[in-house]
């Protein structure tokens, strides 16, 4: 997210979470509806850190711990069939609940495809 500061300089600030591991019921096959599977998330979230850098107070920034806790809770309680649906809902949750104007989400469903280390998707929502 590009922010213009008082001195007319431009900043693009991103808070990220990498390799957030969560277990969820996800998939279209019968066995996938029975056994929680590992989902790994990477999140990049646009924010303006200027106020927090000035005040040194957590309430003036995007609290990545609060985001992670909310995403973990949501994913663990979800039961979607498609990773596309799960990714879209996670993105909507972050944008709506944490007022994030832009995010990139990478969702990895490890072990979903024999012979591949990773399989998943990357989505971007909002304006950077």
What are the φ and ψ backbone dihedral angles of 27, each rounded to 5 degrees? 140, 170
In the prediction, which pLDDT does 6 show?
55
CATH no. of 2-126: 3.30.1130.10
CB 3 within 8 A of CB 10: yes
CA–CA distance, 97 with 93 (Å, rounded to integer) = 6
Sign, Cα dihedral of 39, 44, 46, 48: positive
One of 51, 65, 109, 110 is an active-site residue; which one?
109
Active site residue 110: no
What pairing do the DSSP bridges indicate for beta strands 102-108 and 120-126? antiparallel
55-87 confidence digits (pLDDT tens): 999 999 999 999 999 999 999 999 999 999 999
Lowest mean pLDDT segment, chosen from 9-18, 25-34, 47-56, 118-127: 9-18
Alpha carbon distance, N-terminus to C-terminus of the chain:
4
């Amino acid at each position: 997210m590009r922010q213009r500061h008082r001195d007319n300089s431009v900043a693009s600030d991103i808070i990220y979470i990498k390799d957030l591991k969560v277990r969820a019921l996800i998939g279209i096959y019968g066995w996938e509806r029975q056994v929680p599977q590992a989902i790994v998330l990477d999140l990049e979230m646009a924010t303006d850190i200027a106020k927090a850098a000035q005040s040194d107070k957590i309430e003036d920034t995007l609290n990545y711990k609060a985001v992670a806790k909310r995403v973990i809770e949501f994913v663990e309680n979800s039961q979607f069939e498609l990773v596309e649906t799960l990714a879209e809902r996670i993105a909507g949750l972050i944008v709506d609940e944490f007022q994030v104007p832009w995010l990139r989400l990478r969702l990895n469903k490890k072990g979903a495809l024999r012979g591949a280390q990773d399989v998943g998707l990357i989505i971007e929502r909002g304006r950077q």
